[in-house]
Amino acid sequence: MFVDHVKIYIKGGDGGDGMVAFRREKYVPMGGPAGGDGGNGGNVVFEVDEGLRTLMDFRYKRHFKATRGEHGMSKGMHGKKAEDLVVKVPPGTVVMDEETEVVIADLVEHGQRAVIARGGRGGRGNCRFATPANPAPELAEKGEPGQEFNVVLELKVLADVGLVGFPSVGKSTLLSVVSAAKPKIGAYHFTTIVPNLGMVETEDGRSFAMADLPGLIEGAHEGVGLGHQFLRHIERTRVIVHMIDMSGMEGRAPYEDYVTINNELEQYNLRLTERPQIIVANKMDMPDAEENLKQFREKVGASIKVFPVSAVSRQGLKELLFEVADLLEVTPEFTLHDVVEESDATVMYKHENTSEDFDITRDDDGAFVLSGYTIERLFKMTDFSREDGVRRFARQLRSLGVDEALRERGAEHGDTVRLLEFEFEFFE
């Protein structure tokens, strides 16, 4: 089963909690704090495995959660950092944040890695908070929560050349003739229901990957037919081979087919019009094909080159393959997304939380609700079982300007303030 679009949940590992501890060895007076830091949580890392061809495995496992770091220990010992969770994906996988639709990574090369969800930092033990004014603090942090969100995985087939056209124009037949691929061939529409890949080699030793995609029909960009599911695979191709049934056996006019398919490509993604296109007039061994080709050339104009072929009898295929190979040599790759950082093994995309430190809203019962990445992170890393932790959190709120912001919104003494599932009272 070919699966090229899935949604999964990922979460980086939480950091380990810092510890509150004190030295209590014999003959060591005034031992002081001895609580160690927690270990960092594991990252969720996607790695390309060229042995995979579909996203089928993600149909059965949709939740990926890295392990958390170990908690800090006494005698100043730090917790162990958690191992990263490595998830294998096929070449050509694009990872997007479901909520923001921001591209996190575009994974194309074998062994390429991208950190999708980062693990949380380990909480600091009370050793870290000792000061001359407070040499024995009973204060430690909880581990930072790891990043978590839903991501959409899209598989876009890695092919140099994409075959497009209406159903039953001979795309699968052509691929089976010029390569060792064995796509399903039948005298009915939508015989091809998944993309098929084949390696093509010309007589002069040049080679390229060709993809046979399910047939397109009018309205494909809006979800009509099967082809709309696979339009994304055309985005990676450098050259589009547009096949047209010149025999007219299906009762359609070749020129209308040509206009309709180009319109569907443009409506799906305007950047597809940047790719060079080779027009292939197939089924030239059939009656009326020559007359239809003559009329077609008159309508498209002399500036557009048309290659008459017969995939069944192999007529004209040599010239077509040479033209494709020549075009690939001068056609650059088309980037799908703007790259922020790039190295030999990794391609990463900007994926940052750009929201404010906090946001204040009102519930129906009049309570003030605090939300925001920064304030929620501080709250989750606070140990409220100790007085020092509570006081530190109050100082952090004041430094962020939460108290002043609540007053500006009309908060008065005794009003309820909510943060996540907890409630507080506002004190002047």
Q: What is the C-alpha separation between 409 and 8, in angstroms, rounded?
A: 39
37: DSSP letter: P
Tell me phi and psi for residue 90, to 5 degrees. Answer: -75, 155
190 is annotated as contributing to ligand binding: yes
130 is annotated as contributing to ligand binding: no
310 is annotated as contributing to ligand binding: yes
12 is annotated as contributing to ligand binding: no
Concatenate the DSSP letters of all residues of 69-84 into one string: PPPP-STTPPPPPPPP
123 is annotated as contributing to ligand binding: no
Triad 58, 60, 62: Cα angle to 5°: 55
SS3 assignment, position 239: strand
287 is annotated as contributing to ligand binding: no
169: DSSP letter: S
192 is annotated as contributing to ligand binding: yes
Q: Which residues contact 54 (CB under 8 A, 6 or more apart)?
A: 1, 2, 3, 4, 90, 155
Q: What is the C-alpha separation between 383 and 143, in angstroms, rounded?
A: 10
167 is annotated as contributing to ligand binding: yes
321 burial via Cβ count (<10 Å: 0-12, 13-18, 19+): buried
Residue 361: its H or E element: strand 359-362
311 is annotated as contributing to ligand binding: yes
Side chain identity at residue 316, one-letter code: G
Q: What is the C-alpha separation between 19 and 38, in angstroms, rounded?
A: 8
213 is annotated as contributing to ligand binding: yes
Q: What is the C-alpha separation between 351 and 312, in angstroms, rounded?
A: 50
125 is annotated as contributing to ligand binding: no
214 is annotated as contributing to ligand binding: yes
285 is annotated as contributing to ligand binding: yes
282 is annotated as contributing to ligand binding: yes
Which is nearest to 207 in space by CA: 317, 314, 325? 325
Which is nearest to 164 in space by CA: 269, 285, 56? 269
Sheet strands (E) in 192-276: 196-201, 207-212, 239-245
215 is annotated as contributing to ligand binding: yes
370 is annotated as contributing to ligand binding: no
262 is annotated as contributing to ligand binding: no
381 is annotated as contributing to ligand binding: no
- Known binding residues for Mg(2+) are 172, 192
Question: Which residue numbers belong to the known binding site for GTP?
Answer: 165-172, 190-194, 212-215, 282-285, 310-312
List the binding residues.
165-172, 190-194, 212-215, 282-285, 310-312
